[in-house]
Amino acid sequence: MKIGVIGLGIMGKPMCKNLIKAGYELIVCDMAAANVEEVAALGAQSAPNGKAVAESCELIITMLPNSPHVKEVVMGENGVLKGAKSGAILIDMSSIAPLAAQEIASACEMQGVEMLDSPVSGGEPKAIDGTLSIMVGGKKEIFDKVKDTLAAMGTSVVYCGTIGAGNTTKLANQIIVALNIAAVSEAFMLAKKAGVDPILVYDAIKGGLAGSTVMNAKVPMIMNANFKPGFRIDLHIKDLNNALDTGHGVGSPLPLTATVMEMMQVLKSDGFSQEDHSALVRYYEKLSGVTIN
């Protein structure tokens, strides 16, 4: 079975490489020619647009920045639905608004195309390792058909419910990650200002209740002021925007999310939007006049 992949960015490109390693034949499409060439060098074929991808594939994966990009690639003039055959499956692995996922799924259903919303968590390192967490919404029987394919890209592949449930789960994940990074930054700045070595604080608490995967991944970056993006601040702003919009829509209060969103907006204004979200520590450094590293 040929798999089409549209979107070869920080996440999509290594995900493609893991699909190729697993033995899948790919047809890929991206606006960045260099990314297409890199994956093509490993054996993938290229296509000019979503329509051309869908004409040759029964399974199409999209990995794009946000809801408008997915809508255009799927529903646009040269989109997936212009070339997809009835019975094809679209797996959108982008992180988008749940309502947008439902809208796109409705358009797919009208043409006999099945859709899953399957956003991921883990950032570039886990995309490279093939150890992503994948949260899936849609029909259970469609999930069962493609679970093994998803498992080529992630070690945790969990069915979360009907269409939109995948992205709702991802929003919950992004809230927890953002608040966790903010809490780590705030706590370690307290230690630094109080004259206690933050590295020793980390060593002391990482095995206790405060320890977390986020702390283990981000503290080394914070301590070394290494903000090379695994997941950029501007993308986390996008996710928190979707979380806040969804919260407002369903009547769920998100005061902590709103606070961290404002911190990230400050960093964006200061020119740090392309840095890793661990650069949230810069907000505390700006207020305190002290650097952690």
**For residue 8, what are its two tokens?**
């070869």
Strand 132-137 and strand 120-121: the pairing is antiparallel
Strand 132-137 and strand 2-6: the pairing is unpaired
- List pLDDT tens digits, range 97-132: 999 999 999 999 999 999 999 999 988 889 999 999
Given 17, 126, 170, 192, which residue is catalytic? 170
**For residue 282, what are its two tokens?**
């810069």
pLDDT beyond 90 at 293 = no
Give the phi and the psi of residue 18 in degrees, each rounded to 5: -70, -35
The answer for residues whose C-beta is within 8 angstroms of residue 26's C-beta and 6 or more apart is 2, 3, 4, 5, 16, 19, 20, 39, 43, 44, 45
In this prediction the pTM is 0.91
- List pLDDT tens digits, range 190-245: 999 999 999 999 999 999 999 999 999 999 999 999 999 888 999 999 999 999 99
- Are 160 and 147 in contact by the 8 Å Cβ rule? The answer is no
Domain over 2-163 is classified CATH 3.40.50.720:
yes
Provide the 10 A C-beta neighbour count for residue 128.
18
For residue 1, what pLDDT band results from cuts at 50, 70 and 90? confident
pLDDT beyond 90 at 80 = yes
**For residue 98, what are its two tokens?**
């749940």
Environment class of residue 3 by beta-carbon count within 10 Å: exposed (0-12), middle (13-18) or buried (19+)? buried
Q: Do domains 2-163 and 168-288 have the same CATH topology?
A: no
Task: Locate the domains of the chain by residue range.
Answer: 2-163, 168-288
Element (H, E) at 165: helix 165-193
Report how far residue 131's alpha carbon sits from residue 116's, in angstroms, rounded to the nearest whole number.
20
CATH (one of 1.20.81.30, 2.40.30.10, 1.10.600.10, 1.10.1040.10) for 168-288: 1.10.1040.10
- Are 242 and 254 in contact by the 8 Å Cβ rule? The answer is no
- Are 107 and 72 in contact by the 8 Å Cβ rule? The answer is no
**For residue 154, what are its two tokens?**
């992630």
Residue 170: active-site member = yes
Element (H, E) at 132: strand 132-137
